[in-house]
């Protein structure tokens, strides 16, 4: 029987895109418009404010953090120690809607999702994209006709990219080629609802946050649900297998108070639980 998840941190709004570096967990606190880092004792520290609304992020080989702004539709390079920021790419002229999650490959190429439509505003349509970015080569299209691209994972052999298509209720997979190319698109798993972020373990299973079901599912390589962690009454947003031995699963959730439907109050939290199978790949 799995232990009950333990509360690590609270006081967040909508904790997204968890990334682990040097003993700390970095979080896009989306609706507080800030990047934060969280220590292992649960202390929350603001690294910097992000006026364009923080979205996906990942660490580069030099230790800097590449972060996408959802509304601003820019890529920022951030020093995680000082919060100093530099704009490295502007996707405002090509993105159809908002930038979302992101992942970085060991080659230096990153992929960031363009949702294609504004969630909660536009009618859902499968016209989202993945954009590839490299500091030496800039931005180029990598994949199209995606039904709201969200969480991404790179397999441990660096040859496969897994992608949540939230409104498609599925996880897709791509082969990673040269120069940021993504090919051989296929469906890896059909899901029982709309998913958000995810991570991978050493057995090839994907821990996937089911956004509106309030649950994290462990999906086998064959696409079957083999384990479940429930958070009743909360949104399940994202997760990452991290810590020194990658056996701590960090779970990002949010309880929404919609007493005033025009001004919902978000109570974001991070929980932890111990994994029998450690994390693998990226993030």
In the chain (283 residues long), the average pLDDT of successive 10-residue segments reads 90 98 97 97 98 97 95 98 96 97 97 92 91 97 98 97 98 97 98 98 98 97 96 97 97 92 91 98 97
Tally the domains of the chain. Answer: 1
pLDDT tens figures, 120-160: 788 889 999 999 999 999 999 999 999 999 999 999 999 99
**Would you say residue 100 lies in a domain?**
yes
**Would you say residue 254 lies in a domain?**
yes
pLDDT of residue 1: 64
**Would you say residue 95 lies in a domain?**
yes
29 and 12 Cβ atoms separated by less than 8 Å: yes
Q: What does the alpha-carbon distance between residue 150 and residue 212 come to, in Å, rounded to a whole number?
A: 14
What is the domain extent for residue 13?
A: 6-280
**Would you say residue 1 lies in a domain?**
no
Confidence (pTM): 0.96
Provide the percentage of residues in the chain whose pLDDT is more than 90.
92
Q: What is the CATH number of the domain that holds 142?
A: 2.120.10.30
**Would you say residue 234 lies in a domain?**
yes
**Would you say residue 129 lies in a domain?**
yes
**Would you say residue 216 lies in a domain?**
yes
Across the chain, which distance is largest between two alpha carbons, in Å? Answer: 51
């Amino acid at each position: 029987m799995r232990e009950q998840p333990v509360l690590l941190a609270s006081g967040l709004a909508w904790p997204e895109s968890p990334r682990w570096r040097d003993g700390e967990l970095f979080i896009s606190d989306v609706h507080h418009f800030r990047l934060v880092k969280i220590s292992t004792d649960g202390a929350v520290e603001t690294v910097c404010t992000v006026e364009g609304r923080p979205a996906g992020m990942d660490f580069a080989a030099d230790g800097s953090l590449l972060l996408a702004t959802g509304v601003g539709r820019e890529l920022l390079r951030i020093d995680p120690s000082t919060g100093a920021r530099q704009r490295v790419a502007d996707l405002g002229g090509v993105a159809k809607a908002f930038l979302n999650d992101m992942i970085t490959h060991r080659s230096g190429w990153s992929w960031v999702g363009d949702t294609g439509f504004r969630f909660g505003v536009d009618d859902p349509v499968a016209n989202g994209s993945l954009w590839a970015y490299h500091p030496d080569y800039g931005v180029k299209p990598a994949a199209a006709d995606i039904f709201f691209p969200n969480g991404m994972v790179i397999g441990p052999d660096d040859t496969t990219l897994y992608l949540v298509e939230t409104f498609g209720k599925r996880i897709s997979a791509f082969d990673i080629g040269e120069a940021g190319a993504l090919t051989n698109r296929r469906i890896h798993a059909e899901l029982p609802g709309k998913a958000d972020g995810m991570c991978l373990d050493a057995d090839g299973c994907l821990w996937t946050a089911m956004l509106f079901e309030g649950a994290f599912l462990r999906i086998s390589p064959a696409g079957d649900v083999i384990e479940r962690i429930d958070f009743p009454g909360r949104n399940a947003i994202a997760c990452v297998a991290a810590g020194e031995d990658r056996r701590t699963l960090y779970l990002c959730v949010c309880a929404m108070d919609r007493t005033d439907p025009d001004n919902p109050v978000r109570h974001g939290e991070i929980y932890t639980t111990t994994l029998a199978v450690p994390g693998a790949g990226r993030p």
